[in-house]
Chain A
Amino acid sequence: MKKEKQANNQPKPGRGPWIFMFISLFLFFPLYLADKEKAALAMGKFVHLAMEILPMLLVVFVLMALINIFLKTSTMVKYMGKGSGIKGWFIAIVAGILSVGALYLWYPVLRNLMQKGVKPGLAAAFLYNRGIKLPWLPLMVLYFGLKYVIVLTAVTVVVSILQGVIIDFLITEEGGDESILQQ
């Protein structure tokens, strides 16, 4: 029963992700036949990217374990649940801006948090604010100028709230697919 409950808290991807992975990897083969040099370049890029995200995977793993241990459902509902108000938006925006690593590395973490009662709109606002890359802002200023970067950053924050509201309306109000998160 306990095992069943635990298994139910995990996504049920089936064979889809594995088929996706094998097809994606298989695409290197025709490229290799057509152009060995480009295939080697692509493979080098693939290895480089994999090495780049490896340490981040460890961070995500630790973060997820910590969330499982310390963050209680009642706490998450209080701070980022349906009645969280401005506090919830503030946390989602700041966390989104401060978070690092690839976007997809955060999906398992967000799923975990949404299962603990975090509003879908706040998860969407978090993901939107990941568009603001603090470490890269100086470089962005170099390319586009300070005024542009300040305006774009401020607009992104405001629009992230708009997206959160849209997602809450579509997912929660229309009884969307919250069921998948309760599986």
Chain B
Amino acid sequence: MNLKEAVIKAAKSLLRAVPTIVGILALISLFNVLVPISSYKFLFRGTIFDPVTGALLGSVITGNPVTSYLISGSLIKQGVGLLTVTAFLTAWVTVGVVQLPMEMQFLGRKFAISRNLSAFFLSLVVAFLTMAIMTWA
């Protein structure tokens, strides 16, 4: 492929991604303003389901990793366990519910759904393994 063809193909691919990127950015901005960090604590009840709730929360919220550290730090201070926080942190960076339409558009519906679903369950596996090693080591 020559330079001109390569540039045109790259530009077309990127331009097709623009509306979805704009949509995602709008949703992230609205979510961050409408749902304050302090409200997250109410989701955790100190039960065995907390890691699942943590992974769910990490899956639907999106943003800079630093934000997830800030939220995690706040959750730990409020008594939420490290197992739950690890599931939350891992899901935050590996699962993307907001980005799912774009992932399906570019990488295929089955790939996107399989990847996000497995990443959700694997965030729990990562959390349990991390805590097991931390306890053992």
Contact = CB atoms under 8 A, between A and B. Distances in A.
Contacts, number: 219
Central interface residue in A6, A131, A140, A167, by most chain B CB within 10 Å:
A131
Contacts of A13: 16, 20, 105
Interface string B22-34: 1111111110111
A169 B76 CA distance: 37
B9 A162 contact: no
Contacts of B122: 128, 159, 162-163
B109 A180 contact: yes
Secondary structure call for the B interface? helix
B48 interface: no
B115 A127 contact: yes
Nearest to B73: A143
A45 B23 contact: no
A15 to B, nearest CB: 9
Interface string A105-118: 10110111010000
Interface size class of A (residues with CB under 8 A): 35 or more
A166 B114 contact: yes
Interface size class of B (residues with CB under 8 A): 35 or more
B136 to A, nearest CB: 10
B105 A16 contact: yes
A60 B107 CA distance: 16
Contacts of A88: none
Interface string A134-169: 001001100110011001100110110011001100
Contacts of B130: 148, 151-152, 155
Contacts of B16: 10-11, 13, 17, 108
Secondary structure call for the A interface? helix
Contacts of B23: 17, 20-21, 23-25
A110 B107 CA distance: 8
A86 interface: no
Given A124-B115, A143-B69, A163-B122, 17 more contacts: A23-B23, A24-B30, A25-B22, A45-B33, A46-B26, A49-B25, A57-B14, A65-B7, A69-B6, A104-B20, A108-B13, A136-B66, A148-B134, A152-B90, A166-B118, A167-B111, A171-B110
Interface of B: 1-3, 5-7, 9-14, 16-17, 19-30, 32-34, 65-66, 69, 72-73, 82, 86, 89-90, 93-94, 96, 99, 101-103, 105-111, 114-115, 118-119, 122, 125-126, 129-130, 133-134, 137
18 contacts: A17-B23, A20-B101, A24-B27, A27-B26, A43-B29, A45-B29, A69-B6, A110-B107, A111-B107, A123-B111, A128-B122, A130-B94, A139-B69, A144-B69, A155-B126, A155-B129, A163-B118, A180-B108
